[in-house]
């Protein structure tokens, strides 16, 4: 308890360190999202500095999240020279609220030319400042939003904050209609479960593919994979346990509610989940979790892999983003209530989510798109690339009956009438048995299971917030000014369920039948990043994000370019790494082996003329055949990789070429190398094997 948040300038610290008036003013600023005035900033900065310096801080940084997907920081020390040749520790209000980092090397997707290098970071006072302690010392980190000179968002945080405001605004309109006059804000709440792999650093260091691409580009399957399911929830090995212990301590210090930890399905795979909090803080914290995972692993001679698919043939990693909406007086809007009134409100918010997910399935899908996730979705280990909602039988039944008119029967018996009767209790565990759904209702929240393990959750969450804000705005438009509120609500909900029930699917999402059924229902199946991304720049998408003030058309186009470019760059790095490994390591290794086999034939024959060297001859033939194939597949990959580079003027065409041609050539090259791996003598194989990496922790 003492350690928790010891490194966070949180509410308790602020109350203690700030003069009463300043504390009140700051609270109000945070609560209502008001701009921070200069005088107040000065007072807060002084208190923050004193607190940080007392805890050993020498530097501060505006901590932000550019479109690279990781966090960025530029440290500045507090020192300021005095006339007598000494220094004092200084930190001004101006330095707290605004930074001006040279932004020229962050991706902007054409939003800013290099000569307008200036970017701004601005304190997001809804996320508390914290101290980062590592080998570089103690640094005061101020969570900030990052935008260009002309005010366009260049980061992950800005649209997330804007979407939270949009959702709050529309949800409050609906709440007001239900007679709620006390809530002044609705926040989206998020709890992300993070999956990751750990491998021994000595193996990692010998694998250029892991170093450069984060995933293995070669590797034959070991004799044992995950088929025995003996790793899942298994007892945690001591070495990993020691790592987890330190991880938790580090996270608790910076205020992350690290709560659950366990072995995951794949060998060497694990999960950590914090207790949910507001979307913005959850997103900041998830970045810190990823950062801390890597740092602490390193201290234990381990490497943490956050890639979606580090090992072929073995389950990959995702992030389950648990999401709901809550009023500032603590009411979870997706919690089925106990009174008819609460139930009616619950069904309204539930219907809003259903409508949103069906209307904008393509946006949700593309919010999870990246090169790594393409290996995972639809591969029978993660949901398919088709968006659908799992509600469970009971809720589905209730909605269907809503559709059929006012008074209805419930599956468990009894009558349900909107505004009159209560819902039967929905046991949470009854709704959580289907693990194959990309978007599942789990009792009092939704679990978005498509999200990739390596990316910031800000993207998926700002999309979710915005599309639900749009649904709520539609519902509020219909209901405001209605003569008979309950009758009109009944009508609206009925229409929503009728129109959008195609998105509800409670069956096995991994099955072939579902793919066919979904097609019949007219649901999109956007298999890869390249298929999904063009939906970002449609008129429909731009109209949505502009209406709710989340992204401008310019910002959308820049993000579209950044994601596509990133996709192509990533595959290009993978292709070059493969070529390097195949040409300089695998080919020579195979050649030495086959040469040693060949020379053994003549040595044996020389020694004993009648000896049978049939086996050696067969092996030489087989391996030489594969060697030839290896060379031709290297040549092919080299050729298409060069061709892909030529397409730089058209980012979509280029990304499509990488997916269609380069990835195919990579798979072909891998296939022959993996065959060779199990033929060549172990001591000659140049890389650690799957067996070593996955089973020797
Ligand atoms: P499971 O593995 O069964 O999905 P976990 O306990 O690992 O369950 O994760 C559930 C996550 O959902 C936790 O992070 C939890 O805090 C979060 N959660 C619970 N209630 C809400 C809510 N109302 N809004 C957002 N997240 C929530
Ligand atoms: Mg889960």
Ligand 2 centre distance from Cα of residue 192 (Å): 8
Report pTM.
0.94
When the pLDDT of each residue in the chain is averaged and rounded to a whole number, the result is 92
pLDDT band at 447 (very low <50, low <70, confident <90, very high): very high
Whole-number percent of the chain with pLDDT over 70:
95
C-alpha to C-alpha distance for 371 and 368, rounded to whole angstroms: 10
Closest residue CA from atom 14 of ligand 1? 191
Alpha carbon of residue 455 to chain centroid: 4
Residue 604 has pLDDT above 90, yes or no: yes
Closest ligand 1 atom, residue 324 Cα: 24
What pLDDT, in 10s, does the model give residues 469-516? 999 999 999 999 899 998 899 899 999 999 999 999 999 888 889 999
Residue 114 has pLDDT above 60, yes or no: no
Q: Starting from the CA of residue 323, give the closest ligand.
A: 1
Closest ligand 1 atom, residue 323 Cα: 25
pLDDT band at 572 (very low <50, low <70, confident <90, very high): very high
Name the nearest CA neighbour of 17 among 37, 55, 47, 46: 47
User: HEC string of 249-289?
Assistant: HHHHHCCCCEEEEEECCCCCEEEEEECCEEHHHHHHHHHHH
Residue 679 has pLDDT above 60, yes or no: yes
Ligand 1 centre distance from Cα of residue 322 (Å): 5
Helices and strands, number each (H, E), in the chain: 24, 20
Helix (H) or strand (E) run with residue 416 in it: strand 415-416
Average pLDDT over every residue of 122-133? 93
C-alpha to C-alpha distance for 161 and 553, rounded to whole angstroms: 18
What pLDDT, in 10s, does the model give residues 365-400? 999 999 999 999 877 777 889 999 999 888 888 888
Q: Which of 373-382, 422-431, 443-452 has the lowest mean pLDDT?
A: 422-431
What pLDDT, in 10s, does the model give residues 299-337? 999 999 999 999 999 999 999 999 999 999 999 999 988
Closest residue CA from atom 7 of ligand 1? 273
Q: Which of 240-244, 413-417, 649-653 has the lowest mean pLDDT?
A: 413-417
Residue 407 has pLDDT above 60, yes or no: no
Q: Starting from the CA of residue 256, give the closest ligand.
A: 1
Q: Which of 137-146, 410-419, 576-585, 652-661 has the lowest mean pLDDT?
A: 410-419
The pLDDT value recorded for residue 115 is 54
Which residues line ligand 1 at a C-beta cut-off of 6 Å? 189-191, 193, 260, 273-276, 320, 322-324, 332, 444-445, 447
Average pLDDT over every residue of 438-466? 96
Out of 289, 321, 322, 464, give the residue to mutate to test ligand 1, the one with the largest number of ligand atoms within 8 Å of its CB: 322
Q: Which of 37-51, 90-104, 150-164 has the lowest mean pLDDT?
A: 90-104
Half-sphere exposure of 509 (CA within 13 A, CB side): 29
Closest ligand 1 atom, residue 190 Cα: 25
Say which residue, 275 or 73, is predicted with more confidence. Answer: 275
Ligand 2 centre distance from Cα of residue 48 (Å): 37
pLDDT band at 552 (very low <50, low <70, confident <90, very high): very high
Task: Mention every residue, 6+ apart, whose C-beta is less than 8 A from residue 482.
Answer: 488, 489
What letter does residue 533 receive in the DSSP assignment?
Answer: G
Ligand 2 centre distance from Cα of residue 320 (Å): 5
Query: Please, which residues have CB less than 5 A from ligand 2, an ion?
Result: 320
């Amino acid at each position: 308890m003492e350690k928790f948040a010891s490194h966070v300038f949180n509410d308790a610290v602020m109350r203690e360190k700030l003069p009463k008036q300043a504390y009140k003013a700051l609270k109000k600023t945070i609560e209502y999202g008001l701009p921070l005035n200069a005088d107040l900033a000065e007072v807060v900065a002084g208190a923050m500095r004193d607190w940080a310096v007392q805890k050993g801080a020498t530097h501060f940084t505006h901590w932000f999240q550019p479109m690279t997907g990781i966090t960025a920081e530029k440290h500045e020390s507090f020192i300021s020279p005095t006339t007598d040749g000494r220094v004092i520790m200084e930190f001004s209000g101006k330095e707290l609220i605004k930074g001006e980092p040279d932004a020229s090397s962050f991706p902007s997707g054409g939003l800013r030319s290099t000569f307008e290098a200036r970017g701004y970071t601005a304190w997001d006072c809804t996320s508390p400042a914290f101290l980062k302690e590592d080998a570089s010392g103690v640094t005061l980190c101020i969570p900030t939003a990052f935008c260009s000179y002309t005010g366009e968002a260049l980061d992950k945080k800005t649209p997330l904050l804007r979407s939270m405001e949009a959702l709050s605004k529309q949800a409050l309109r609906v709440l007001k209609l239900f007679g709620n006059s006390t809530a002044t804000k609705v926040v989206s709440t998020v709890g992300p479960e993070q999956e990751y792999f750990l491998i021994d650093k000595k193996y990692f260091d010998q694998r250029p593919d892991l170093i450069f691409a984060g995933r293995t580009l070669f590797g034959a399957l070991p004799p044992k994979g995950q088929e025995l399911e003996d790793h899942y929830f298994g007892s945690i090995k001591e070495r990993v346990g020691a790592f987890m212990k330190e991880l938790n301590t580090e996270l608790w210090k910076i205020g992350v509610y690290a709560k659950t930890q366990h072995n995951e399905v794949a060998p060497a795979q694990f999960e950590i989940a914090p207790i949910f909090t507001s979307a913005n803080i959850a997103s900041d914290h998830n970045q810190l979790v990823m950062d801390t995972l890597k740092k602490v692993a390193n201290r234990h001679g381990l490497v943490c892999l956050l890639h979606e698919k580090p090992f072929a043939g073995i389950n990959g990693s995702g992030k389950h983003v648990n999401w709901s909406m809550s009023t500032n007086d603590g009411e979870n809007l997706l919690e089925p209530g106990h009174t008819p009134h609460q139930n009616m409100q619950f069904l309204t918010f539930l219907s809003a989510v259903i409508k949103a997910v069906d209307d904008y399935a393509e946006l949700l899908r593309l919010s999870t798109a990246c090169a790594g996730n393409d290996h995972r979705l639809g591969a029978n280990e993660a949901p398919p690339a088709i968006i659908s909602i799992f509600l469970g039988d009971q809720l589905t039944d209730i909605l269907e009956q809503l559709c059929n008119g006012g008074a209805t029967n419930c599956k468990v018996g009894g009558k349900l009438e909107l505004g009159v009767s209560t819902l039967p209790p929905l046991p949470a565990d009854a709704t959580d048995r289907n693990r194959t759904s990309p978007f599942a209702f789990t009792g009092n929240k939704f679990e978005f299971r498509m999200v990739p393990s390596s990316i910031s959750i800000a993207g998926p969450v700002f999309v979710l917030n915005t599309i639900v804000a749009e649904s709520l705005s539609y519902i509020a438009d219909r209901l405001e000014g209605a003569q008979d509120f309950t009758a009109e609500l009944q009508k609206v909900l009925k229409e929503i369920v009728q129109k959008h029930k195609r998105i509800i699917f409670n069956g096995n999402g991994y099955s072939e039948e579902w793919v066919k059924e979904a097609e019949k229902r007219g649901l999109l199946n956007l298999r890869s990043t390249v298929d999904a991304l063009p939906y970002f720049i449609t008129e429909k998408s731009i109209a949505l994000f502009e209406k709710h003030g989340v992204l401008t058309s310019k910002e959308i186009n820049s993000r579209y370019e950044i994601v596509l470019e990133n996709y192509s760059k990533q595959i290009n790095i993978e292709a070059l790494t493969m070529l390097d490994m195949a040409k300089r390591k695998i080919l020579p290794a195979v050649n030495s082996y086959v040469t040693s086999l060949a020379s053994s034939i003549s040595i044996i024959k020389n020694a004993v003329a009648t000896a049978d060297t049939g086996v050696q001859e067969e092996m030489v033939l087989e391996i030489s055949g594969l060697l030839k194939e290896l060379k031709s597949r290297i040549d092919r990959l080299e050729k298409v990789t060069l061709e892909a580079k030529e397409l730089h003027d058209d980012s979509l065409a280029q990304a499509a070429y990488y997916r269609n041609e380069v990835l195919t050539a990579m798979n072909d090259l891998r296939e022959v190398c993996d065959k060779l791996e199990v033929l060549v003598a172990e001591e000659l194989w140049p890389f650690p094997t799957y067996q070593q990496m996955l089973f020797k922790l």
